[in-house]
Amino acid sequence: MRFAWRCLLVVAVLMAGCLLVAACGGEGEEGATPGAPAAGGGVPMFRGNAAHTGENPGPGVEGPPKLLWRFEAVTDVRSSPAVVDGVVYIGSGTPTRWGSGKLYALDAATGEERWRYLPYLFCEFSSSPAAVAGVVYVGSGNSQYYAGCVSAVGAVTGGERWDVWTRDYVQSSPAVVDGVVYIGSDDNYLYALDAATGREIWRFETGDRVESSPAVVDGVVYVGSGDDHLYALDAATGEERWRFQTGSDVDSSPAVVDGLVYVGSWDNYVYALEAITGQERWRFETGEGVASSPAVVDAVVYIGSADGYVYALDAATGEERWRFETGDEVDSSPAVVDSVVYVGSNDNHVYALDAATGERLWRFETGGKVRCSPAVVDGVVYVGSLDGYVYAITEE
């Protein structure tokens, strides 16, 4: 029976256009123009904004933490939450015999499920959703069947607007800017899609999978690839402006602040590059690979490493200010609010650290690894865990 379902999935994906990227319109809710700034603040997309600074609106949770609520997603949660207008949008991951991954909309105050979305059976949501102008954009896929999908659904009911199929899993998280959705795929391409229709505007081919999430600043898209490069592309045309070679895969998502691009690589380094030319300004060596994406706030770069540390680096020079040791790899990307750094670790904990000193303010234990980036809004930290739960953490 399971084999039959898998066969049906493959046939359905092929019919949907997995071998040729295609967009199909769907019924959805009325809303503002896609790509406009999200109303009401919040954390509308991965890393908080299109520049990927990692700064969240807060206020944060500085005191001892307590559980406000938790939501059972059944499958693991690698996706980072978007929080807009009192709703948490988040995906769940690896399908199991109990169910497939799903995109959820949860009430931010209570954790009550408002709706769920599933584009096809056995899909996974590692991509983090972007909630912009009444529409939620997210990637999904299944690496076993070389199937990937970018979906747009209405934020109020989860009604489908459009789906675009790619030739492999979409783990990259979308950036939505000026009516365009920028997102990578494991099929080696970065895509620019019309936010209203899903129509392909352009695609750019790299030499390997694109799991890095693009940052978009001043008409330029910055994104990493598994081919060991960071790329800068013209946002309107997809034309390459420059590329920078590291020593290994670039799965980290770049942050762009004050004319510099900050990014990590599996070659164990964190890099700072000139945004206009791609020229290296500095590099900092950690003990292991860097999949974490940097947060850059008040001239300091905060980033995790597979060596188990969270680092604070001077944004201008790369000089280390402090490091904090967790109990396992730090794949999570830090969020910064009011001089506090919030980050997860594969040791099953979420940490709050003093941004100036690295001192631990508190930690909160989940039942599994915490690989996603926390979202911090209105005195609550929202985060997922590989134990299959979404957590809302507040102060005692």
Provide mean pLDDT across the span 176-190: 98
The pLDDT of residue 41 is 65
Band (pLDDT 50/70/90 cuts) for residue 95 is low
Question: What percentage of the chain exceeds 90 in pLDDT?
Answer: 83
Give the pLDDT score at 121. Answer: 67
Residue 228 gets the label, from left (phi > 0), alpha (psi -120 to 50) or beta, of: left
What pLDDT, in 10s, does the model give residues 239-277? Answer: 999 999 999 999 999 999 999 999 999 999 999 999 999
Q: Which residues are CB-contacts of 163 (< 8 A; sequence separation ≥ 6)? A: 16, 23, 24, 26, 119, 149, 150, 151, 152, 198
Share of the chain above pLDDT 70, in %: 88
Per-residue pLDDT of 128-162, as tens digits, reads 999 999 999 999 988 677 789 999 999 999 999 99
Using one digit for the tens of pLDDT, what is the confidence trace for 286-297?
A: 999 999 999 999
Task: Please tell me the distance from the alpha carbon of residue 20 to that of residue 3, in angstroms, as a whole number.
Answer: 25
**For the segment 293-341, what is each residue's pLDDT rounded down to a tens digit?**
999 999 999 999 999 999 999 999 999 999 999 999 999 999 999 999 9
Q: Evaluate whether 371 touches 344 at the Cβ level (below 8 Å).
A: yes
Could you tell me the residue ranges of all domains in the chain? 2-52+73-329
pLDDT of residue 74: 79
Task: Tell me what pLDDT residue 30 has.
Answer: 36
Local confidence band at 37 (pLDDT 50, 70, 90 cut-offs): very low
Q: Would you state the structure tokens that stand for residue 164, as one six-digit string? A: 């675009």
| 20 has pLDDT over 70 | no
**Highest CATH level, class, for 2-52+73-329:** mainly beta
Give the H/E segment covering residue 283: strand 280-285
Query: In this structure, are residues 214 and 206 in contact, taking their beta carbons and an 8 Å threshold?
Result: no
Q: For residues 129 and 139, is the Cβ–Cβ distance under 8 A?
A: no
pLDDT at 147: 84
- What tokens were used for 275? 């945004």
Residue with tokens 């299109």: 50
Torsion of CA 161, 164, 170, 172, to 10 degrees: -60
From 85-94, 202-211, 342-351, 361-370, the region with the lowest mean pLDDT:
85-94
pLDDT digits (tens, 9 = 90+) for 185-214: 999 999 999 999 999 999 999 999 999 999
Query: Structure pTM?
Result: 0.91
pLDDT at residue 4 is higher than 50: no
Whole-angstrom distance, CA of residue 238 vs CA of residue 395? 45
